[in-house]
């Protein structure tokens, strides 16, 4: 995750530099924007999957705990 965050920061920095030199519709800016979008999408997917895993694991524990109490 740290590597991905570093890539996002670098892409953001590059985007800022490019927008200072070119118009927002310049191919270089559009390409960098798409790269940054892809990195951000990846970040949010990773973050969402980790949240889902955490929820899923806690839900499974809760179900297992309820079941084990019934059997006791």
Report the CATH number at residue 57: 4.10.280
What's the predicted TM-score (pTM) here? 0.71
Q: What is the pLDDT of residue 20?
A: 96
The pLDDT profile of the chain, 72 residues, written as one tens digit per residue, is 899 999 999 999 999 999 999 999 999 999 999 999 999 999 999 998 887 777 766 665 555 555 556 555
Number of domains in the chain: 1
Q: What is the pLDDT of residue 48?
A: 87
Q: What is the pLDDT of residue 41?
A: 96
- Full DSSP string of 8-53: HHHHHHHHHHHHHHS-TTSHHHHHHHHHHHHHHHHHHHHHHHHHHH
């Amino acid at each position: 995750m740290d590597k991905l965050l570093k890539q996002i920061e670098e892409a953001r920095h590059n985007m800022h530099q490019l927008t200072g030199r070119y118009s927002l519709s310049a191919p270089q800016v559009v390409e960098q924007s798409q790269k940054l979008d892809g990195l951000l999408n990846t970040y949010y997917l990773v973050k969402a999957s980790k949240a889902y895993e955490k929820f899923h694991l806690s839900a499974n524990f809760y179900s297992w705990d309820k079941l084990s109490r019934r059997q006791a």
